[in-house]
Amino acid sequence: MPHTTKQFRERLADVQLGDALPFYSRLSEEQRFAYKLLAPALAMMCLIHLLPIVWGTLISFMGVDSSYVQEWYRAPFVGVENYSYVLDPRTVVGGRFWFAIRQTVIFAVGSLVVTYVLGLTAALILNQKFTGRFVARTLLLLPWVAPVVVTLLIWRMMFQQQSGIINHVLLSIGLINEPIYWLIGDNTIWTLVLTHSWTQFPLVMIMLYAGLQGIPDQLYEAASIDGAGRWEKFRYITFPQLKPVSAVVVLLVMLWTMINFTAPFVLLGAQPPQAGQVGILYIYEFAFSNYQFGRGAAMSVVLFLIAMTMAMIYYKYLFDDDFAEGDR
Amino acid sequence: MRSHTRRSVLATTGTVTTFSLAGCLGGGSGDGTTIETRYMDAPGLEDYFEKHTEIFEEETGIRVEYETIGWGEAQERLLTDITSQTGPDVQEIASTWIPEQADAGGWMDLESDEVVDHIPNTEMFEDGAMDVATFQDSLVGIPWFWGPRAWQQIDEEIETGGVDGHPDDWDALVDQGQAYDGDTDLFALMGADFEPMRNFAMFLWQSGGQLLTDDNTEPAFHNEEGVRALQFYADLYTEYDVLSSETVEWGAADINGAFAGRQMASTVDALGTVSAYEDEDGHSLDDLSISAPPVGPDGDGGTFFGMELLGIHPWTDEPEAAAQWIDYLLRAEPNAEISSTVGFLPTNPDGFDTEYFDHELYESFNDEVFPVARTYPQVLGWGEIEGELNSAVAGVIQNAVTGDLEDGDIEDALEDAADVARQTL
């Protein structure tokens, strides 16, 4: 058994990978050690993430339906037929799929904005020194630690048109004149955004709060000496200093929302109103109810590419400089 | 003496061993056999299966293990089972899932030599039930319990509201709805999940239409009768004000609660609402009356029935024991008990002679409602059509209550769904 880090590294260095992987022989000792440490995680990532992606992409070019569920590899190769079927906006399925993608983008961007604003506000409040800060932090974490299904079901009850408390409150304070439909019709997507944001904002809050803790006090002191007010400090110190954390938070929230299944499924059911039909729910229903796995996989690949493209654009245009600096 | 003692010991040991083995292995053809079974979760199932697996094991020596799963995860679990060819021996089947799952090789043909002598006598089942259980000439499931939707009313509430009797046709339903002067709503239907589709199918049949052509190769729901049915369904909310707009959000729990709490006087539903009503303190089945739903303009009747079946997976190692277990569950008493527990009706007609269905209300179900009860066609691709049509109908109904329904929307929605049906069929 190795007793020291040095011994452990020597043992690990004995593992010969250089012969099998040419690039590996070009790496320094430090880099090799790092790769070896990463290997188990990388293997798990391949197994859990990469393999399904590759398999999903593969069957998106095959006619996998109920007849081939047990022997999918025997399904005929259909080329891009599945893609042309689901991407053609002139067909009902294509039209619905594109509409679902549009709703997904609204869901993701809307949730991102609400989650970030709520999370940042809460983090800024928690970053102040006040009595009961510990209790406040615990309370603010509740939406995230509470079982999400229970939370969503409670929201569902609160959003009922006649018996829900939301309409009662809005009516009683005079904000609306008659009860609003939250769970059917065009409002559905905003209901989804609100409830999902409610369950997610504490995570954003914690991450930003950690970021706020890392901002040196000297910056604020210097700004005070220069006569900066609260807004200027936030605008020129806090917000820019949070940029690295925000970059991660924004990307995670956006991608997690795009592939979030629980919130729309629990809040709106397996057959949601059209406005609440987000991509992941539509794909699930389409693929699993109809056993149309080839076409469902094609839809999933399209959704995956859209999410990846959005992430790349985001990094390219908003954070390119910062991360390039990091690389250097 | 010594050898005698040894012989005695050996004889005793042999006798004990023989009896021990007989005790362990004896008791009938199913000795040592264990089958795994799975059912959709419902209140009361655990007690039911605790009781009946014990009786069955005493009778046959076959041990039955059971598990229950929620509806939300059932489809995925089944798909995993079918893909991997693993899972329970016996499983509950939802009728609308049969075509895809049978096509995927998920269910054994129950008329195959391995099991045909052990399954229940299928002659006892109604033709409609057997139609559902049969896919492409194979018997893939045994009808277990079913739930035709009937007109149900709380007579006292109806009378308090100043109307009388059951509505015979659409006009009478509208007249009663407008004349009703009670404190509650006269009539309510569920509007969430797949309910819009089921309600539409009912109105379609009452309107003289059908979902697909007779040979199941073309859609037929988008014709004149279909448009009339969907228009009537939407008008019940808006034009006639018979259905309360809030009910468009209602699922099973909502309508059960409202009916049991007397917040509505009548509905068209399966036995779930009746059971919920009966469970309330101070309520009795005598308060209720049942009939077939109102007929359409040309006198056509129709109502939807859902059915659960029991099937055997083809990967089972114990097909005979699995069939015996199904045969046991379909006996009059266990069949009636499970049906009563989950709020459905027994498929074994003798179940109506048991204590569980000893009320004239159930006779009304049997005599008046069954003859007009219909269900979806068992055709491959129906799942896709059902989903599309449900979205179309739900969209129309939701737009109606939110005031966004425009002229031509109904025709367009049905035509869109028909396009999908044409591609699928």
Q: What tokens appear for B270 in the block?
A: 């399966």
Look at A93 and B401 and tell me if their CB atoms are within 8 Å: no
Q: What is the pLDDT of residue A15?
A: 60
Mean pLDDT of A89-98: 88
| Residues of chain B positioned with their CB less than 8 A from the CB of A285 | 387
> Could you tell me which residue, B10 or B130, shows the higher pLDDT?
B130
Phi first, then psi, for residue B113 (nearest 5°) are -60, -30
Q: What is the pLDDT of residue B27?
A: 40
Task: Tell me what percent of the residues of chain A surpass a pLDDT of 90.
Answer: 51
Q: Does B185 touch chain A (CB under 8 A)?
A: no
- Residue B85: which of A70, A92, A184 has the nearest Cβ? A70
Distance from B81 to chain A by nearest Cα, in Å? 10
Of B24-33, B55-64, B269-278, minimum mean pLDDT range: B24-33
Look at B246 and A163 and tell me if their CB atoms are within 8 Å: yes
Rounded to an integer, what is the distance from CA B87 to the centroid of its chain? 23
pLDDT at A327 over 50: no
Which of A92-122 are b and which e, b meaning 16 or more Cβ less than 10 Å from the residue's Cβ? bbeebbbbbbebbbbbbebbbebbbebbbeb
**What sign does the dihedral B38-B39-B40-B44 (CA atoms) show?**
negative
How many Cα atoms occupy the beta-carbon half-sphere of B145 within 13 Å?
A: 26
Look at B193 and A290 and tell me if their CB atoms are within 8 Å: no
Residue A49: pLDDT band by 50, 70, 90 thresholds?
Answer: confident
- Residue A184: which of B388, B402, B417 has the nearest Cβ? B402
> What is the bridge-based pairing of β-strands B34-40 and B345-346?
unpaired
pLDDT at B84 over 90: no
Q: Does B94 touch chain A (CB under 8 A)?
A: no
Q: What is the pLDDT of residue B199?
A: 95
Of A19-28, A185-194, B235-244, minimum mean pLDDT range: A19-28
Phi first, then psi, for residue B312 (nearest 5°) are -115, 130
Look at A160 and B423 and tell me if their CB atoms are within 8 Å: no
pLDDT at A17 over 80: no
pLDDT at B29 over 60: no
Mean pLDDT of B54-60: 94
Quick: pLDDT tens for B300-325: 999 999 899 999 999 999 999 999 99
* A 12-51 → B contacts, CB under 8 A: none
- Residue A185: which of B72, B82, B402 has the nearest Cβ? B402
* Every domain of chain B and the residues it spans: 32-147+306-365, 148-304+375-424
Start-to-end CA span in chain A (Å): 38
Look at A67 and B79 and tell me if their CB atoms are within 8 Å: no
**Helix, strand or coil for residue B64?**
strand
A33 vs A13: CA distance, rounded Å: 7
Look at B245 and A161 and tell me if their CB atoms are within 8 Å: yes
Look at B248 and A160 and tell me if their CB atoms are within 8 Å: no
* Angle at CA of residue A35, ends A31 and A41, nearest 5°: 155
Q: Give me the residue label for tokens 């309360």.
A: B244
Q: Give me the residue label for tokens 């959003």.
A: A159
Which of 3.20.20.105, 3.40.50.1950, 3.40.190.10, 3.40.640.10 would CATH assign to domain B148-304+375-424? 3.40.190.10
Residue A8: pLDDT band by 50, 70, 90 thresholds?
Answer: low
Q: What is the pLDDT of residue A91?
A: 84
Nearest CA in chain B to A85: B423
A59 vs A297: CA distance, rounded Å: 7
Q: Give me the residue label for tokens 């893609």.
A: A83
Q: What is the pLDDT of residue B28?
A: 41
Quick: pLDDT tens for A255-282: 999 989 999 999 988 778 888 999 999 9
Look at A183 and B395 and tell me if their CB atoms are within 8 Å: no
| CATH 1.10.3720.10 placement within chain A | 91-327
Q: What is the pLDDT of residue A320?
A: 61
Distance from A61 to chain B by nearest Cα, in Å? 19
| Residues of chain A positioned with their CB less than 8 A from the CB of B416 | 92
Same fold, B32-147+306-365 and B148-304+375-424: yes
Quick: pLDDT tens for A119-139: 999 999 999 888 888 899 889
pLDDT at A58 over 50: yes
Answer yes or no: are the C-beta atoms of A272 and A156 closer than 8 Å: no
Quick: pLDDT tens for B138-147: 999 999 999 8
Look at A290 and B398 and tell me if their CB atoms are within 8 Å: no
Mean pLDDT of B128-136: 90
User: What one-character DSSP code corresponds to residue A273?
Assistant: -
Cβ–Cβ pairs < 8 A, chains A and B: 95
Look at B391 and A163 and tell me if their CB atoms are within 8 Å: no
| Residues of chain A positioned with their CB less than 8 A from the CB of B398 | 181, 184-185, 273
Answer yes or no: are the C-beta atoms of B30 and B321 closer than 8 Å: yes
* A 88-147 → B contacts, CB under 8 A: 91-93, 96
Look at A92 and B83 and tell me if their CB atoms are within 8 Å: no
B2 vs A205: CA distance, rounded Å: 88
Quick: pLDDT tens for A29-39: 888 889 889 99
| Residues of chain B positioned with their CB less than 8 A from the CB of A168 | none
pLDDT at B223 over 80: yes
Which of 1.10.3720.10, 2.60.260.20, 2.40.50.220, 3.30.930.10 would CATH assign to domain A91-327? 1.10.3720.10
Q: What is the pLDDT of residue B6?
A: 59
Look at B101 and A286 and tell me if their CB atoms are within 8 Å: no
Look at B249 and A161 and tell me if their CB atoms are within 8 Å: yes
Q: What is the pLDDT of residue B13?
A: 57
Mean pLDDT of A185-214: 93
Class at the top of the CATH hierarchy for domain B32-147+306-365: alpha beta
A160 vs A183: CA distance, rounded Å: 7
Quick: pLDDT tens for B328-383: 999 999 999 999 998 889 999 999 999 998 888 888 887 888 889 999 998 888 88
